Structure 1
Amino acid sequence: MAVGVASVYTYDVYKTKRATQTPAANTAQVAPAPSQFDRRWGQPSAGSPPPSRPSSYRCDGRTHCSQMRSCAEATYFIQHCPNTKMDGDRDGVPCENQWCS
């Protein structure tokens, strides 16, 4: 008997909650609210790139490998600065004989 009463009460609560919810007209435009149990909420997803930090490098007219101090610096220059002459074989890796072997 107690099981029957509990079942009726549970169904009544379910029906009441369901009746008070308003259906969204277009669910594609409505973002779901984060769950209080979702610990990943507010964290970057696994597929997103890490937040970029400001670079200490800046385009200052240097164009050759002999003017660079590291592979990271040379890579920054070929990706962000115009008219660099550090990737002779155009494979995306600068200064292969000096810094980025």
Structure 2
Amino acid sequence: DELARARAAARAAADDLLWDRADAVNPDPSRLVPVQLSGFAALKARCDGQHAEGRAQAQQVAAIAATLAQVADAREVGARVKLTAAAARHAQLSHRLLAIVGRVEQLRTERS
């Protein structure tokens, strides 16, 4: 499995004592692999990589938020169209009902 290969590669590249200590404090060994960093250049490269990954994730979140906003707008427009059509139909039926009630009342008064 990929995690086992990554753990084996990281352990082979690390000092045994440091590996054992890092593995002992690993919060989630089923998902996380300790990797030894030696020197400032390696630390800076790790930090730069994490910043780049953070920016990439922020861009993905922004893209997802934009897509979600488009979907929400489309749903809102569709709902408004349906609501407008329902209101027009309600007004039409109300007028028809009023005309029928008026005609019934007219016929009732004529027979009396």
Please indicate, yes or no, whether the TM-score normalized by the shorter chain is above 0.5. no
| More helix per residue | 2
Q: Which has the larger radius of gyration?
A: 2
